[in-house]
Amino acid sequence: MSENKRASFGGKLSVVLVAAGSAIGLGAIWRFPYIAGKHGGAAFLLVFLISVFAVGIPTMLAEFAVGRRTRKNAVGAFRSLSKRWSWLGYNGVLGALLISGYYYIIAGWSLEYMVASATNMLYSSPLSFTEQFNEFQGSWRPLFYAAMFILLTHIIIARGVEKGIEKASRIMMPALFIILIIMAVRVAFMPGAMEGYRFFLSPNFEEAFAPETIMMAIGQAFFSLSVGMGCMVTYASYFKKDNNLVQTSCNVALLTLLVSLLAGLVIFPAVFSAGLQPAEGPSLIFVTLPEIFKDIPFAALWSTVFFLLVTLASLTSTISFHEVLTAYLAEEFKISRRWAARLVSLASVLLSALTLSLVFDIDFLGIKMAGATLVDVFDYLSANIVMPVGALFTCVLASWVMDRSFVKDELSNRGVLKSRVIPVVVFMLRYVTPLLILYIFLRNLGIL
């Protein structure tokens, strides 16, 4: 596609909504409350907040700068800055493939639970929710719903950047906020909710500054803000020259923090109200929340609304990593966008089928997992290897390898915007962010 024919997102609001749509997903609604629960509640929240500002926002800005300057897919973007750095684009493509291998499956669970709630099957079954979850896992349905999710994502992607991604985000993101706020208010009236608030909101500072908590918080910041795998590079390639990048990244980060907080305020009071465990793992929302809903009037309705919310949030995230792959194939191999999208969707179905069919034990490089599935493996590889590597080297490229004025020029729209934040970001990108990432990366690998 030539420079002037390339699609772009509309106004300021759309740019924030599409990027926030990518960021807000399973990471904020499921992963955040669960990890916060395990690592000191409010204390984790504080470290996560610091990580978002110290690592997440600067990395997102480096990706925005690379994407908008080059207006290309992830591989093309890095290559056009420097041939030797095109591997960073492939790192992103690899990350998007790894995430495609498991994210659709979990997103498919929420679709299945939405349908099972809407048809009242979930609440009329004689089986317990745990039995229903296990029975569901052992059936053909996870693959069916993952495939349905891929189909939904495909339809939006195939409609293109403006009509598909932008329009979907404009409708889905506000809907998500409204549903979450209603849920948070509803949950506040449940008996025992106070204990949940205490658990989620009373800080334990000793735990907050434990190295493991810091590692988990920085990892959560990568995953949740969709940085380190070319996703924000690809999205920023559709931004306009006058979009304010600093403002956009701060808005995206604040919205992600807000949804994470709201998700915690929905889930913890609800879990405690039913006397359940907050550190339940992948089944948390699928087993414990129906348990809670069943005792309140209109259980099926609340449950449908909640899983609709998870589905919508996941959908605006799946379209973003699908787009990384679609834009890569379409532009690098000069095939039509339609065909590129078809190939990516097909690969996603095959990868999901592979993930669902393999279970094994891992005992490798200090990682021990019994009964692991590719969900665990893909999650580990993407969050702990691909994303930190991608983020670290994107910061290094943008602030050390490129001309000194590269980041400053892009963030100020070539001198048009004057902001005292820009020199701070430039400093962070050169020194603070890469060192912090290097630290968690080496710790994750057990080297430090």
Q: Tell me whether residue 404 is exposed, middle or buried, using C-beta atoms within 10 angstroms of its C-beta: 0 to 12, 13 to 18, 19 or more.
A: exposed
CB of 226 to ligand PFF, least distance (A): 4
Give the span between the Cα atoms of 281 and 338, in whole angstroms.
37
Residues, the chain = 448
From the list 224, 311, 345, 433, which residue makes contact with ligand PFF (rule: CB under 6 A)?
A: 224
Give the span between the Cα atoms of 33 and 79, in whole angstroms.
38
From the list 17, 26, 55, 310, which residue makes contact with ligand PFF (rule: CB under 6 A)?
A: 26
x/- mask, ligand PFF, residues 281-300, rule CB under 6 A, reads --------------------
Contacts with 319 (C-beta within 8 Å, 6 or more apart), sequence order: 21, 22, 153, 156, 157, 164, 165, 168
Comparing C-alpha atoms, which of 193, 244, 230, 260 is closest to residue 386?
Answer: 230
- 312 touches ligand PFF by CB under 6 A: no
Count of residues near ligand PFF by CB under 6 A: 15
- 320 touches ligand PFF by CB under 6 A: yes
Which is nearer to ligand PFF, 262 or 300 (by Cβ)? 262
Which is nearer to ligand PFF, 24 or 270 (by Cβ)? 24
- 389 touches ligand PFF by CB under 6 A: no
- 317 touches ligand PFF by CB under 6 A: yes
Q: Report H helices in 139-244.
A: 141-158, 167-188, 193-201, 205-208, 211-225, 231-236
CB of 320 to ligand PFF, least distance (A): 5
Phi, psi of 372 (to 5 degrees): -75, 150
- 23 touches ligand PFF by CB under 6 A: yes
CB of 155 to ligand PFF, least distance (A): 18
Comparing C-alpha atoms, which of 50, 60, 408 is closest to residue 248?
Answer: 60
Could you tell me if 196 and 289 are in contact, meaning their C-beta atoms sit under 8 angstroms apart? no
Which is nearer to ligand PFF, 271 or 383 (by Cβ)? 383
Stretch that binds ligand PFF, among 8-16, 111-119, 121-129, 225-233 (CB under 6 A): 225-233
Stretch that binds ligand PFF, among 17-25, 48-56, 172-180, 183-191 (CB under 6 A): 17-25
Could you tell me if 383 and 31 are in contact, meaning their C-beta atoms sit under 8 angstroms apart? no
Beta bridge partners, 372, equal 360
- 262 touches ligand PFF by CB under 6 A: no
From the list 16, 21, 27, 245, which residue makes contact with ligand PFF (rule: CB under 6 A)?
A: 27
| Interface positions, 425-444, toward ligand PFF (CB under 6 A) | none
Contacts with 344 (C-beta within 8 Å, 6 or more apart), sequence order: 100, 157, 322, 325, 326, 329
Q: Tell me whether residue 10 is exposed, middle or buried, using C-beta atoms within 10 angstroms of its C-beta: 0 to 12, 13 to 18, 19 or more.
A: middle
- 196 touches ligand PFF by CB under 6 A: no
Comparing C-alpha atoms, which of 401, 444, 389 is closest to residue 94?
Answer: 389
Stretch that binds ligand PFF, among 201-209, 316-324, 358-366, 422-430 (CB under 6 A): 316-324
CB of 175 to ligand PFF, least distance (A): 17
- 305 touches ligand PFF by CB under 6 A: no
Question: What is the SS3 assignment for 373?
Answer: strand
- 122 touches ligand PFF by CB under 6 A: no
Comparing C-alpha atoms, which of 250, 317, 236 is closest to residue 8?
Answer: 236
Which is nearer to ligand PFF, 213 or 224 (by Cβ)? 224
- 25 touches ligand PFF by CB under 6 A: yes
x/- mask, ligand PFF, residues 82-111, rule CB under 6 A, reads -----------------x------------
From the list 156, 231, 252, 305, which residue makes contact with ligand PFF (rule: CB under 6 A)?
A: 231
Could you tell me if 235 and 18 are in contact, meaning their C-beta atoms sit under 8 angstroms apart? yes
Which is nearer to ligand PFF, 21 or 142 (by Cβ)? 21
Q: What angle (nearest 5°) sits at the alpha carbon of residue 267, between those of residues 266 and 271?
A: 125
Give the span between the Cα atoms of 205 and 362, in whole angstroms.
34
From the list 28, 267, 285, 308, which residue makes contact with ligand PFF (rule: CB under 6 A)?
A: 28
From the list 91, 226, 249, 399, which residue makes contact with ligand PFF (rule: CB under 6 A)?
A: 226
Tokens of 11: 């106004």
Could you tell me if 325 and 100 are in contact, meaning their C-beta atoms sit under 8 angstroms apart? yes
- 77 touches ligand PFF by CB under 6 A: no
Question: What is the SS3 assignment for 308?
Answer: helix
Q: Could you list the residues that contact ligand PFF (CB under 6 A)? A: 22-23, 25-28, 99, 223-224, 226, 229, 231, 317, 320-321
